[in-house]
Amino acid sequence: MIKTEKVLHLKSSRGRKVRVVREHYLRERVPCFSSLCQADCENDGKVLPGDLTHYVVPDAEVVVNYLEVLEFPELQGLVITQTACQALHSKGRRFCDRLRNLLKDQRHDCVLFANEFQEYSYCPREKAESQEKWQTRCVYAAAVWYYNHLAGLMNVVMITEDEEAVSRFSSLNSGVFVIRVQDYLQNFWPELKAAHELYSSITQVLQEKEGEDSQREFSEHLPAEVLEAGIKSGRFIQGTLNVSKHRPQNEAFITNQGLSTKNPGAEAPLRSSFLLAEPAPTLDNLWEFWAHSYFRFSASDLSSGVLVFGSKSRNRAVHGDMVVVELLPKSEWRGKVTVLTEGQVDEKSGDDSETKAMPTGRVVGILQRNWRDYVVTFPPRDGTQSQSRNSQRILVIPWDRRIPKIRISTQQADALQDHRVVVRIDSWPSTSLYPNGHSVRVLGRAGELETEVQTILMENCIHVPPFSEAQLREMPVNSSENPWTVDPAEAAERRDLRETHLVFSIDPRGCEDVDDTLSVRSLAGGKLLELGVHIADVTHFVSEGSLTDLEARSRATTYYLADRRHDMLPSVLSADLCSLLGGVDRYAMSVLWELDAQSLAVTKVWFGRTLIRSSYQLHYELAQALLNGEEAEVPELARVDPEERDTKLTELTEALEKLTHIGRHLRAQRDRGGALELEGVEVRAQLDEEKNITALVPRQPLEVHETVAECMIYANHWVARKIQEVFPYQALLRRHPPPRQELFSQLVDTAQARGFAMDTRTNKALADSLDRAVDPQDPLVNRLLRMMATQAMSQAVYFSTGAQPEDQFYHYGLALDRYTHFTSPIRRYADMVVHRLLTAALQVEQGAEPAKTPAGNKDLEELAEHINNKNRAAQRAQNLSMGLFQCLFFKERDPEIDPRCVADGIIYAIRDNGVLVFIPEYGVKGPVYMRNKEGRVVSTGPDGTCEWQTGSVRRYTDHIITTSGSGSATFRLFDHITVRISVLCTNCHADSLNLEVINNKLHRSAAPQQPSSQGRNQLVQEVVRLAEEAQEKAAQRPKLPREEREFQQSKVPNLYSILEEIRELALMDLETASRVCPTTA
């Protein structure tokens, strides 16, 4: 142990200047993480390659200000010093996390050098030396040490922004060059245009900052110590700022989510992360601790959130920030506005249309900024004229309405007119009405299909670059001249089911990537049944920590957009080697149950790796036909002689029958527990539309769908039990928390309007009452009610078992005490994690040490959080892209003439100045106004046609009445009306659909309701075609690859996965919910 010198540090805390003495230990051996190292440093983890021309050591100031430039993967051999890392600490945790991710990222060539703990590279701060100067000196010392340590084998370049440092240090050592960032970029990376632009854009922002005028627009934020004390004493409330989508100017809410996610229930098994967050109660602060928990109780009254009204009280907080609010006195509390969407009602008339006053507060400080990259649109020329005196600064409008306008400085304003650009916010000083930012990347001209799709991806933080060379190199090869074969060594370790089991898959027609297969057979002379579920063994091909694994982890899921999909794994795996195709040998992970043939009780379960060969690749219709005893052509048996064919066919049919029998039993078992059938026939179809695979789903779902789904749920359930048993604190499970009762109020009220009573106390009661609420005349009523029930529920989420108490593991929708995802590893990363856990669990059980210890609770929880976020983003992106295509579809048509722009709608909610309508034909939901901006109301003529007249609107709980000169009209819940669809074009945001009532009767052509699916599918095809035509005309860009268009044919690999997805994602995004019914959001 090498311990030396102690060093003095001056430090101020709690506002006062305090002199603190801290020890500082230095050591001779600090790993350098270079492959050129001559001194046998313990370099584990990432190592800088030795074949570079130089290493770069950025100055602290450079890291702080130009971290984004350093993030370019092209910059290699980056050595970040500890000094710089600490300087970044002062800028906030967000930046630290970014740097840390950069350092962890295997794909990026940079390391951290702990220079301040190295005996020879450490320099103590001298008296009266400024911090910046000292940091620069430290970094230079580190650079020199590097050069010497590597015995001069590698040149070291230090980049700095400090002129003085350049002149002072550049000539001191021969191998160590000190230059400015700009010179560095120009000399070493002249072709890296993007970096240059980013650099100049940041520089400009920094210069602007210096010349700020000082007229104050907002009150200053309180210092962090005051905030912390305030939160502890209960004076302030901490939470995430959520800006209302409908009134982004004025309304924002604070959700206490911050508290609940950080401290998962006080009775949870306390883990270290929790302990970090909260100081332990010692005798001294015991009282404080009590007081704290007391106030937290009282804060739970605020569970519905705190309203922040107006931009002054929002005080520079941006959507998503972690903020601290102070409650205003009760006399200043106000309610939310329930009038439909923005611009319709001004503030003066606001009072009467507000709900009852809710806690209102103002932001006093921001704990953590959550700024991400925003897509903005440059305004057209005339919009910039007010800025003309200073043409460099431009206010750009973010695509997301919840984000305020951003001021950026650029010289390319003219060139970028009407373009969508990615920007980052840098700061928001109290002297400025708008935040300052800089541009990062240009996406393209607004309104073009490609640009819009990129925008959607960007806005949801989805990055899907094509798979890199290095990643593809890791993949096994399977080509016609070099076919992939089963490795005999590997085969010996697996259980061989090729001869013993009849394995088959049931998937949608034309499916390429099969990730699950089934088998069933009789054992012990018919006394036992053996059910088997065999899942593609993806983790055999993708080892943990490989580049492909990292990429899959960061993607977390396959993204399905309306016209394309972005795979999680390279296609050689997803469509070939991991796909359990018929007639070829494949590796699998299997679960085999032995069931009693009579009672179907489980007597034995076996988990393990297997080798299978699927005999039949069936599709659903075929399987159902076989079950029904109809004549069906099995392609695999086409060439077999008739006699053999018959025996084989009976064999297969028998297996299917057994399977169906088991499926029914399992379903009944779960129903008794209270499983919700949210995917009820209609809803299933509706959500399928969003998945856009409707061509594959028949309107009448077949029983075999359910059978397959049940088997998969059963497999998931048993795997969850297994891994939780072996790893009680570090298993990845999926839970679905029970919904809050108050969220059901809309459902209950609406159902009451139609005379149905809803019992929402338990999932069983809810399922029963939903089954009862059927209107024989109108099947849509039940569908709508189920949709509302779905919206009231929270989403199912992944979690690590160590982070939740055991009674929280319950899956509400499926009525299972433990559940996970195991059956689709090709397109979900969570399944891959579960596969690895299961493998490790089996190894532990055999008494062997697992090859790699599974991730700890904390890492796993982090991963689960990441996957949840990505899933939500994927869902949002999918919905947005569907919306985009809808808009593009209707944009091409004239709503006045085209018959396709008129459709049947059903009213499902009442608002003050209008109603919310669902259009089954296109699956669109939206508001219909009864009173327009001029204050005119809808009035109906004798034949039901509607027009605008002056009059008034009155709202009741289950209907709305408009009164005008020509009489009054009533619109009730669940009434059918005819609406016209047009597109509201906005340049800067996403276009939206505008619905307008034209008749209060059912739409004529709606009676023979065509399968809604077709409308959807055609819509996408048509829009893609139009976009292509436009491109061909312009001949600007190459055509969309043909494959991309073909993808829409088999969007989702197989139907089971879809069903399962629906089951859970049916528990739809709250996003959607809030868009549809602003009051319950």
Partner 1 sequence: MAGLELLTDQGYRLDGRKATELRKVQARMGVFAQADGSAYLEQGNTKALAVVYGPHEMRGSRSRALHDRAVINCQYSMATFSTAERKRRPHGDRKSTEMSLHLKQTFEAAVMTQLFPRSQIDIYVKILQSDGGNYSVCVNAATLAVIDAGIPMRDYVCACTVGFVDETPLADLCYAEESGGVSSLALALLPRGGQIALVQMDARLHQDHLETLIEAAMTACKGVSKVLDEVVRQHLQEASVLSRE
Question: For residues 233 and 385, which CB has a smaller minimum distance to partner 1 in the complex?
Answer: 233
Give the per-residue SS3 of 745-782: HHHHHHHHHCCCCCCCCCHHHHHHHHHHCCCCCCHHHH
x-or-dash string of contact with partner 1, 41-80, rule CB under 8 A? ----------------------------------------
Question: If we measure between CA atoms, which residue out of 990, 987, 880, 988 comes closest to residue 405?
Answer: 988
| Interface pick for partner 1 out of 126, 127, 277, 482 (rule CB under 8 A) | 277
Question: For residues 83 and 962, which CB has a smaller minimum distance to partner 1 in the complex?
Answer: 83
Tell me how far, at minimum, the Cβ of 842 lies from partner 1, in Å: 22
* CA–CA dist 954, 905 (Å, integer): 21
Question: For residues 118 and 881, which CB has a smaller minimum distance to partner 1 in the complex?
Answer: 118
Question: For residues 277 and 489, which CB has a smaller minimum distance to partner 1 in the complex?
Answer: 277
Question: For residues 24 and 405, which CB has a smaller minimum distance to partner 1 in the complex?
Answer: 24
Question: If we measure between CA atoms, which residue out of 132, 133, 146, 134 comes closest to residue 177?
Answer: 146
Tell me how far, at minimum, the Cβ of 67 lies from partner 1, in Å: 15
Tell me how far, at minimum, the Cβ of 98 lies from partner 1, in Å: 12
Please answer whether residues 753 and 972 qualify as being in contact, where contact means their C-beta atoms are separated by less than 8 angstroms: yes
Part of the chain binding partner 1 (CB under 8 A), chosen from 58-66, 229-237, 267-275, 860-868 = 267-275
Part of the chain binding partner 1 (CB under 8 A), chosen from 277-285, 374-382, 646-654, 712-720 = 277-285
| Interface pick for partner 1 out of 729, 810, 948, 974 (rule CB under 8 A) | 729
Tell me how far, at minimum, the Cβ of 15 lies from partner 1, in Å: 12
10 Å Cβ neighbour count for 1004? 11
Question: For residues 231 and 1066, which CB has a smaller minimum distance to partner 1 in the complex?
Answer: 231
CA 858 to chain centre: 20
Structure tokens at 207: 């210069």
Please answer whether residues 695 and 1013 qualify as being in contact, where contact means their C-beta atoms are separated by less than 8 angstroms: yes
Q: In DSSP terms, which residues pair with 54 in a beta bridge?
A: 155
Q: Is 232 in the site for partner 1 (CB under 8 A)?
A: no
x-or-dash string of contact with partner 1, 851-880, rule CB under 8 A? -----x-x----------------------
| Interface with partner 1: number of residues (CB under 8 A) | 48
* CA–CA dist 955, 953 (Å, integer): 7
Please answer whether residues 988 and 394 qualify as being in contact, where contact means their C-beta atoms are separated by less than 8 angstroms: no
Beta strands 976-984 and 902-910, pairing class: antiparallel
Q: Which residues contact 868 (CB under 8 A, 6 or more apart)?
A: 797, 798
Structure tokens at 1073: 């919910």
Residues 82-141 that bind partner 1 (CB under 8 A): 89-90, 92-93, 96, 100, 103-104, 112, 114, 116-117
Tell me how far, at minimum, the Cβ of 81 lies from partner 1, in Å: 12
Q: Is 27 in the site for partner 1 (CB under 8 A)?
A: yes
| Interface pick for partner 1 out of 39, 206, 224, 765 (rule CB under 8 A) | 224
| Interface pick for partner 1 out of 68, 228, 585, 778 (rule CB under 8 A) | 228
Tell me how far, at minimum, the Cβ of 328 lies from partner 1, in Å: 25
Question: For residues 31 and 1015, which CB has a smaller minimum distance to partner 1 in the complex?
Answer: 31
As to burial, measured by CB atoms within 10 angstroms (0-12 exposed, 13-18 middle, 19+ buried), residue 247 is: buried
Question: For residues 90 and 391, which CB has a smaller minimum distance to partner 1 in the complex?
Answer: 90
Question: For residues 90 and 950, which CB has a smaller minimum distance to partner 1 in the complex?
Answer: 90
* CA–CA dist 745, 1031 (Å, integer): 49
* CA–CA dist 549, 674 (Å, integer): 38
10 Å Cβ neighbour count for 741? 11
Question: For residues 25 and 956, which CB has a smaller minimum distance to partner 1 in the complex?
Answer: 25
Q: Is 974 in the site for partner 1 (CB under 8 A)?
A: no
| Interface pick for partner 1 out of 271, 866, 891, 1001 (rule CB under 8 A) | 271
Q: In DSSP terms, which residues pair with 118 in a beta bridge?
A: 27
Question: For residues 108 and 613, which CB has a smaller minimum distance to partner 1 in the complex?
Answer: 108
Rg, C-alpha atoms of the chain:
32
Question: For residues 112 and 446, which CB has a smaller minimum distance to partner 1 in the complex?
Answer: 112
Residues 343-372 that bind partner 1 (CB under 8 A): 367
Torsion of CA 495, 497, 503, 508, to 10 degrees: 40
Q: Is 22 in the site for partner 1 (CB under 8 A)?
A: yes
Part of the chain binding partner 1 (CB under 8 A), chosen from 251-259, 263-271, 861-869, 1028-1036 = 263-271
Q: Which amino acid is at 749?
A: D
Q: In DSSP terms, which residues pair with 772 in a beta bridge?
A: none
Please answer whether residues 801 and 730 qualify as being in contact, where contact means their C-beta atoms are separated by less than 8 angstroms: yes
Q: Is 270 in the site for partner 1 (CB under 8 A)?
A: yes
Q: In DSSP terms, which residues pair with 422 in a beta bridge?
A: 375, 441
Please answer whether residues 959 and 889 qualify as being in contact, where contact means their C-beta atoms are separated by less than 8 angstroms: no
| Interface pick for partner 1 out of 258, 269, 429, 944 (rule CB under 8 A) | 269
Please answer whether residues 993 and 890 qualify as being in contact, where contact means their C-beta atoms are separated by less than 8 angstroms: yes
Q: Which residues of this chain interact with partner 1, rule CB under 8 A?
A: 1, 3, 6, 16, 18-27, 31, 89-90, 92-93, 96, 100, 103-104, 112, 114, 116-117, 224, 228, 269-272, 274-284, 367, 729, 856, 858
